[in-house]
């Protein structure tokens, strides 16, 4: 996962969390808390218990076009259907040993079973239906520590920004394992953000009775908030035009290429610095200068070679002296040692300059 992009998103999210004073009614947070307090699959009055448990979930899940919670409540107005709904939930909440594919399959069959039953009882009320994603919502309420809420647009925005395959589908085509893989990647990255984890746990403890969510609610809320609060660059915002999206993609590709080049340059520089060339001690070596004649090298003064030309001392740079063409050594090995030192410093300077320029380009994007 691109660390630079993630840092940018999470910095905004942390500020969002700090400004949040209490959970809003109808949020996922409240839905999970309300469900955990009220749910009892063996309750003697299952319809009433279901209504209590879904008070907040209904606000988050039902909409004018699709009303899965309302549909279940409508279905259970028929006494003969109550036990069917209870058994469907019992089967939906069956353990699967972490097999996400089976979990998605159960959600699909749950939705199909309820929809089929509802169509037989109320053939003209088409809006009271659900899809696999709606059924998965119930799984999230039941085990928030082992599931991730799914919203197609929010998931797609995150996937596009972080270079995942963006289309997770929906209904029978919902690719739940791939979506969970993306969420798990973010979950692992959160280990590097202790401040954010502390904020999340404090919020859950103070506002939601300390829900044990294994940070799964935090993962989803990051995806949700990044989308709704438009933390993404302009080209990735939900209001972006086609032209803006194309520009954002191009800039993102350029940024990725620069990051690769910066990484390669940093690696090369680190390898070079790990084996530095020592400043050669040429004290006593015989050196000839084209103007001053023969001389003897004296102890160095910093980066300068000091040469005694019959009592006259002259200073020459170790990093450029031999390249000037005016100096030559009596012993070829001396020239080789000095050339190696000069080559090392030349390459070091080149890499440092290239790295500085690449980082400057990255900052402009």
106 and 28 in one domain?
yes
What range does the domain containing 220 cover? 3-239
Question: In sequence order, which ranges of the chain are alpha helices (DSSP H)?
Answer: 3-19, 28-38, 46-53, 55-61, 68-75, 79-92, 100-121, 132-142, 152-161, 176-189, 194-207, 216-228, 242-274, 332-364
How far is Cα 92 from Cα 104, in angstroms, rounded to an integer? Answer: 10
Alpha-carbon distance values, 316 to 40, 286, 329, 339 (Å): 87, 14, 14, 14
pLDDT score at 26? 46
Beta strands at 286-289 and 327-329: parallel, antiparallel or unpaired: antiparallel
List the structure tokens of 8. 């940018």
Among the candidates 239, 269, 297, a domain finishes at: 239
Please check whether residue 334 is in contact with residue 325, taking contact to mean a CB–CB distance below 8 angstroms.
no
**How do residues 14-67 score in pLDDT, each as one tens digit?**
888 877 655 454 478 888 888 989 999 999 999 999 999 999 888 888 888 788
Q: Considering the domain boundaries, does residue 192 fall inside one?
A: yes
298 and 235 in one domain?
no
pTM above 0.85, yes or no: no
220 and 89 in one domain?
yes
How far is Cα 298 from Cα 224, in angstroms, rounded to an integer? Answer: 70
Stretches where the chain sits below pLDDT 50 are 23, 25-26
166 and 24 in one domain?
yes
pLDDT score at 307? 92
pLDDT score at 25? 44
List the structure tokens of 57. 């979930």
Please check whether residue 114 is in contact with residue 71, taking contact to mean a CB–CB distance below 8 angstroms.
yes
Three-class secondary structure of residue 128 per DSSP: coil
324 and 195 in one domain?
no
202 and 297 in one domain?
no
Among the candidates 213, 239, 265, a domain finishes at: 239
Q: Considering the domain boundaries, does residue 339 fall inside one?
A: yes
Q: Using CB atoms within 10 A of its CB, is residue 219 exposed (0-12), middle (13-18) or buried (19+)?
A: buried
- Shortest CA distance to 141 belongs to which of 58, 78, 229, 85? 58
How far is Cα 96 from Cα 115, in angstroms, rounded to an integer? Answer: 23
DSSP state of 329: E
Burial 82-112 (b: 16+ CB within 10 A, else e): beebbebbeebbeeeeeebeebbebbbebbe
How far is Cα 237 from Cα 230, in angstroms, rounded to an integer? Answer: 6
Long-range contacts of 36-39 (CB under 8 A, 24+ apart): 36/141, 36/209, 36/211, 37/209, 39/141, 39/142
Q: In which element (H, E) is residue 124 found?
A: none
225 and 123 in one domain?
yes
- For the chain, the domain total comes to 2
119 and 205 in one domain?
yes
Please check whether residue 157 is in contact with residue 236, taking contact to mean a CB–CB distance below 8 angstroms.
yes
295 and 234 in one domain?
no
233 and 128 in one domain?
yes
- Shortest CA distance to 235 belongs to which of 221, 245, 223? 245
DSSP for 183-215 reads HHHHHHHGGG-HHHHHHHHHHHHHHSS----TT
Q: Considering the domain boundaries, does residue 262 fall inside one?
A: no
192 and 59 in one domain?
yes
Q: Considering the domain boundaries, does residue 12 fall inside one?
A: yes
Q: Considering the domain boundaries, does residue 91 fall inside one?
A: yes
Q: Considering the domain boundaries, does residue 111 fall inside one?
A: yes
Angle between helices 28-38 and 216-228 (to 10 degrees): 150
Q: Considering the domain boundaries, does residue 359 fall inside one?
A: no
How far is Cα 344 from Cα 351, in angstroms, rounded to an integer? Answer: 11
Q: How many residues does the chain have?
A: 365
List the structure tokens of 189. 């990255």
Q: Considering the domain boundaries, does residue 196 fall inside one?
A: yes
208 and 148 in one domain?
yes
């Amino acid at each position: 996962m691109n660390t630079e992009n993630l840092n940018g998103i999470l910095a905004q999210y942390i500020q969002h969390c700090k400004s949040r004073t209490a959970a809003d009614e109808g949020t996922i947070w409240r839905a999970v808390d309300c469900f955990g307090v009220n749910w009892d699959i063996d309750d003697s009055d299952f319809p009433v218990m279901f209504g209590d448990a879904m008070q907040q979930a209904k606000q988050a899940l039902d909409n004018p076009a699709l009303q899965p919670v309302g549909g279940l409540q409508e279905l259970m107005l028929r006494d003969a259907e109550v036990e069917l709904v209870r058994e469907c939930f019992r089967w939906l909440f069956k353990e699967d040993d972490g097999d996400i594919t089976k979990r998605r399959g159960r959600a699909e069959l749950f939705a199909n079973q309820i929809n089929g039953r509802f169509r037989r009882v109320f053939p003209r009320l088409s809006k009271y239906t659900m899809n696999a994603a709606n059924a998965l919502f119930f799984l999230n309420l039941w085990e928030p520590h082992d599931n991730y809420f799914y919203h197609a647009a929010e998931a797609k925005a995150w996937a596009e920004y972080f270079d995942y395959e963006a289309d997770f589908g929906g209904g029978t085509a919902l690719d739940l394992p791939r979506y969970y893989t993306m969420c798990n990647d973010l979950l692992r990255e959160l280990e590097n953000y202790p401040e954010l984890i502390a904020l999340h746990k404090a919020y859950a403890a103070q506002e939601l009775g300390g829900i044990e969510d294994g940070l799964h609610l935090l993962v989803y809320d990051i995806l949700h908030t990044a989308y709704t609060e438009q933390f993404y660059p302009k080209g990735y915002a939900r209001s972006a035009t086609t032209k803006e999206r194309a520009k954002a993609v191009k800039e993102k590709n350029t940024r990725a290429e620069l990051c690769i080049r910066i990484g390669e340059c940093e690696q090369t520089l680190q390898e070079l610095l790990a084996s530095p060339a020592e400043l050669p001690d040429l004290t006593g070596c015989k050196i000839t200068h084209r103007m001053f004649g023969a001389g003897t090298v004296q102890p160095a003064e910093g980066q300068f070679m000091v040469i005694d030309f019959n009592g006259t001392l002259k200073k020459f740079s170790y990093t450029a002296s031999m390249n000037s063409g005016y100096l030559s050594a009596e012993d070829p090995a001396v020239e080789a040692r000095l050339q190696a030192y000069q080559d090392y410093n030349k390459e070091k300077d080149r890499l440092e300059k290239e790295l500085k320029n690449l980082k400057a380009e990255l900052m402009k994007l």
